Every structure is written in C-alpha cells, then in structure tokens.
C-alpha cells in the first residue's frame, strides 16, 4: 500500500454522512477517545442518535444540504499591529471562542475593532491563533504569511452538538467541489444547520439554544 493509500480522507456523501477512512486519532473536544474504525460514517445531518457516528437518520429528515445564499460574506479583514498583522474571515469562523477565551487582551468582542494586534506579545498572539481550528485566523510577520500550523498528526475532534474539527492535514473530498480554506485545519458541520456547508459557521449555537 502506498503512503497516499493510507492517508486519512473524508468524503462528503451526497445528502448523507461524512465517510472517513484511515484515521488513527478520533476524540471529542475534551480529548476523550472515540471508537476508531477503518471506515467510519460520521453524522452530517445532526439527527443521529449515535453521534458522532451516522445511524441513517438523514434518510428520514429534510435539511438543506447545500451552501445557502444567506451565508456570511467571504471577506478577509486585516488588523495591523506594530509587529504582526492578524487576518480574520468571519465566514470561516466556527465560533468556538478559543481566541476570545485564551487572549481577551487581543480578541475582545466588546471592543471596536474587536482585534487589537498590539494587545499582547507576538508569542501569545501566535500561540492563540494556532488554537483556531477553522482557518478564520492567520497572521503575517515580516511580509511572510502563516496559515498552516504543523500539527503532529492528523486528528478529528468531534462534538456531539455539531462541530467536527479536522486537524493535521486530512484530505477532504467533496463531489460539490468545496475545499477547506486551509488544508491542515478546518471545521465541518455536524449539526445540519450551517449555511456554509459542509463547513461549520457557528449555527450549531442557535440550534442548541432552540433545543433547550
């Protein structure tokens, strides 16, 4: 078997689950291991009773499987500091709050602009940006742009409430042609409510609120 044949791959099934092959690390957002199978189907509609795995629920529900024209506009904004430029694209954000929670001096939703690229040390800012799973944050130093973060190995971290974080370079095959912004980290929608499918856009938070 060639190396390519043993690399992990996710295929987006038409009106169905994510089919995952060759994955070696699969856990929840808190690091608890999930059962690994050589071929796994992960829930994409959000209605499986066996999440994160698919139980066939998608066959009996109606959801919008495609990108929605009302999704957030794809637009990069630059936040320029003395030594670093932080790039942010709201349309890619999965709203997990890792930036805000880890470095509120820089990422503060109550401030305008909400990102202050001079708010902390370069080291702290880079460390925090590397915690962003979605590709919504990147940075430039000395005219060199950094978008990929060199994870040790491919890993999928799935939340039963929706987001499926795909880190470390897992190839995504989507017959509809959708590609992640950054190959080595992206977040897939597992709740069925994203307007930017197959990627998460944070709408699982509204779904969770509605189901309370």
Least spacing, CB of residue 202 vs ligand FES, in Å: 6
> Smallest distance from the beta carbon of 53 to ligand SF4, in angstroms?
24
Q: How far is the CB of 196 from ligand SF4 (least distance, A)?
A: 13
Q: Does residue 203 belong to the site contacting ligand FES (CB under 6 A)?
A: yes
Question: Looking at 60-68, 112-120, 129-137, 155-163, which segment touches ligand SF4 (CB under 6 A)?
Answer: 129-137
> Contact, 138 vs 163, CB < 8 A?
no
Q: Which is nearer to ligand SF4, 58 or 203 (CB)?
A: 203
Residue that is written with structure tokens 């909400």 in the block: 114
The stretch near ligand SF4 (CB under 6 A) out of 8-16, 35-43, 55-63, 94-102 is 94-102
Interaction site with ligand FES (CB under 6 A): 94, 162-163, 189-191, 193-194, 200-204
């Amino acid at each position: 078997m060639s190396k390519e044949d043993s690399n992990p791959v996710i295929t987006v099934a038409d009106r169905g689950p994510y089919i995952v092959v060759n994955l070696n690390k699969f856990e929840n957002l808190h690091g608890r291991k999930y059962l690994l199978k050589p071929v796994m189907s992960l829930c994409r509609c959000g209605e499986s009773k066996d999440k994160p795995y698919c139980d066939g629920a998608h066959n009996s529900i109606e959801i919008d499987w495609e990108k929605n024209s009302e999704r957030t506009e794809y637009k990069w904004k630059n936040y320029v500091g003395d030594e670093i430029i932080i790039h942010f694209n709201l349309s890619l954000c999965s709203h997990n709050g890792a930036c805000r929670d880890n470095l509120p001096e820089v990422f503060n939703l109550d401030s305008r602009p909400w990102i202050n690229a001079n708010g902390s040390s370069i080291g702290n800012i880079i460390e925090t940006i590397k915690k962003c799973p979605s590709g919504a944050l990147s940075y430039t130093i000395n005219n060199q742009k950094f978008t990929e973060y060199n994870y040790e190995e491919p890993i999928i971290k799935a939340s039963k409430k929706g987001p499926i974080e795909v880190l470390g370079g897992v190839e995504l095959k989507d017959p509809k042609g959708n590609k992640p912004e950054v190959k080595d980290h992206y977040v897939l929608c597992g709740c069925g409510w994203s307007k930017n499918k197959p990627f998460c856009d944070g709408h699982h938070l509204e779904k969770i609120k509605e189901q309370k």
